[in-house]
Amino acid sequence: DAPEDLVRYGKDIEKAVLARGLRYHLEDRVLVHGNKTVVFR
């Protein structure tokens, strides 16, 4: 793959992960306990 393709793949993955994290947070599936974060799937 060309460097430009890898950058595009990375951006696509970053968008998907951010959207999932935001959804989990809004659904109260993320719990911070001390210095650890627990995510309920």
pLDDT-above-90 percentage for the chain: 95
pLDDT of residue 1: 84
- Per the CB < 8 A criterion, the answer to whether 30 and 39 are in contact is yes
- Give the containing element (helix H, strand E) for 30: strand 30-33
Domain containing 27: what range?
3-39
Name the pTM for this structure.
0.71
| Count of structural domains within the chain | 1
pLDDT of residue 35: 96
pLDDT of residue 41: 86
Task: Dump pLDDT digits (tens) for 5-21.
Answer: 999 999 999 999 999 99
